[in-house]
Amino acid sequence: MKTERGNFNSDTEVKLHWLILGELVTWIGASFIWPLTSVYLNKQLHVSLSMIGVVLFFNCAANILGSIIAGRLYDKLNPYPLVLWGLGLDAVVLFLMAAFHGWPEYWVWLTLTGFLGGWNGTLINSIATSLKKYPGRYVFNILYFSQNLGVVTGTLIVGYLYDYSVTVLFIIAASLFVVALVNAIFNYKPIIAFHQERVKKGQSGVSQKAEPMPKCNFIMSMAFFTTLAVTWLMYMNWESNLSVYMVSLGIPFHLYSLLWTLNAGIIVVMQGILARFPKIFKNIFQQIIFGICMFSISFITLVFAKDFAHFALSMIILTLGESTAFPAIPAYVNDLSPKSSKGKYQGSIMVASGVGRAFGPLFGGLVIDRAGYIPFFWVAAIVIALMIALMVPLYAKLHKKLTIYK
């Protein structure tokens, strides 16, 4: 395994705690929007469930597009104005949503927030790749921790404020993005120096164009992208079809909601443990494989789940997978990506996740309609296990040939 190390001065780095603050407030703001969308559109605006599915698909598709564009632009342009424009426009859209949240304008705003969510998420992840003070695994674990702390906070607040006023929710969400914008204006400036260093190297002939990812790195990265897309494809059914299944078994809906509080809480705890004890796993690849194994096992346990306790056990196992695999994949892809194309491949991670999120409920619905829930659980477990069967021998064959960019 070959290693290439950069020599950027740590004084030109964005401080990790400012990135954490940006992630935290934007995810709190985003968590004010997505949990209420289906309920608000159906109960308040009387939009059909099939039309809501179309709206959510547009949101996911726009998220993918935003991720692709932002990742490519990060590698070529100064990221500082890009992230300022993204956060600023997101705040503007949310203020417009607060003023005009009828139908069909809500559809327009939700599509735009999807695009800007992909844009901002990719840029923050890409900026995180420029940090050399901490190991990549630590940085992405901490960022994933902040994302989920934001989700915990946002979803708790939205449950209380929804009955009071959706307008207030949108205004608070917009204000949080203003906070993120102000944070970026004053604290993300070091990324300018990082970009200037890249430009200087290009002018001196050290890196005149984007360096292609080595073939072995590319093959391994594609395996990660495929695994991420497949895992999200199955995981999204927890957010959609599982609620119907649990209610059909006589389990109250509020207990289904409680599962997500459990999910977020475990993620926060697990990220704290991984940050405090980064060597629990021998390497990042082991962490990824452990996480994907947990995803597969969680669907096997669903086959036998008939009461809330068993569903809670399945959620705990699922969350162990989510909290270990999902932050480790972008960290490893960062190590596999040349310095001149880190934004491109961080964007590709967002795209893989977005594809799985966009088509997951549809795929699950088709299988469940034709075969039932139990066959779907087996399909999900087996397909995810096949991803492990793909990655382990591939890694064994390629790991000594991989080039690691530090």
What are the residue ranges spanned by the domains of the chain?
Answer: 14-203, 215-405
Handedness of CA 85, 91, 93, 96 (dihedral sign): negative
Tell the CATH superfamily of the 14-203 domain. Answer: MFS general substrate transporter like domains (1.20.1250.20)
At residue 204, the pLDDT reads: 54
Evaluate whether 354 touches 64 at the Cβ level (below 8 Å): yes
Cα angle, residue 369 at apex, residues 367 and 375 outer, rounded to 5°: 45
Q: Measuring CA to CA, how many Å separate 37 from each of 31, 58, 104, 118, 241?
A: 10, 13, 13, 18, 16
For 102, list phi and psi in degrees, rounded to 5. Answer: -90, -165
| Domain 215-405 = CATH 1.20.58.190 | no
Mean pLDDT lowest for which of 112-126, 184-198, 245-259, 323-337? 245-259
Of the candidate ranges 178-187, 334-343, 378-387, the one whose mean pLDDT is the lowest: 334-343
Q: What is the pLDDT of residues 222-271, one digit of tens each?
A: 999 999 999 999 998 887 678 778 878 888 767 776 787 788 788 878 87
pLDDT digits (tens, 9 = 90+) for 274-300: 877 877 888 889 999 999 999 999 999
Q: 215-405: same fold as 14-203?
A: yes
How far apart CA 12 and CA 188 sit, in angstroms, is 10
Q: What are phi and psi of 361, to 5 degrees?
A: -60, -35
